[in-house]
Amino acid sequence: MLDHFSIQCGDLVKSAAFYDAVLAPLGGRRIMEFGPVIGYGVDRPTFWIGRQSTGDGFRESHIAFTATDRQLVDAFFAAAVGAGAEVLHEPRVWPEYHPDYYGSFVRDPDGNNVEAVCHQSR
């Protein structure tokens, strides 16, 4: 169900060193660095850390749910809009992540960034 999760860090260098150390015994490692964020995982990045970018106190979380096909991403988006969610990004392909990354992003009632993503080509 969960595809990936990300958190914001007050000191990215310190947090990266911490997660490098504590995830290694679990088989986790840095897999991708995408601008100011670092993705950890075993075979693909499922846990991301980045610099704090949303004010003092509140730190937006990003939660991505796996969709088995692109139509389910569209259905997620329609349901979210129907429930009154703020639209961050309508469903589309995100080639900067990888060629088959199809996702949609909305804001939940608490201000978190919630995504549905499909990694399959059409």
**Interatomic CA distance for residues 116 and 77, integer angstroms:** 8
| Per-residue confidence band for 7, with pLDDT thresholds at 50, 70 and 90 | confident
58-103 confidence digits (pLDDT tens): 778 899 989 999 999 999 999 999 989 999 999 999 999 999 999 9
Please state whether beta strands 102-107 and 113-118 pair in parallel, antiparallel, or not at all (unpaired).
Answer: antiparallel
pLDDT of residue 118: 95
37-68 confidence digits (pLDDT tens): 999 999 999 999 998 887 777 778 899 989 99
**Domains of the chain, first to last:** 1-57 (3.10.180.10), 60-122 (3.10.180.10)
| 70, 122 Cβ separation under 8 angstroms | yes
pLDDT of residue 41: 92
**Interatomic CA distance for residues 116 and 24, integer angstroms:** 28
**Interatomic CA distance for residues 99 and 120, integer angstroms:** 9
pLDDT of residue 2: 82
Cα–Cα distances (Å) from 55 to 26, 34, 51, 62, in that order, read: 32, 22, 11, 15
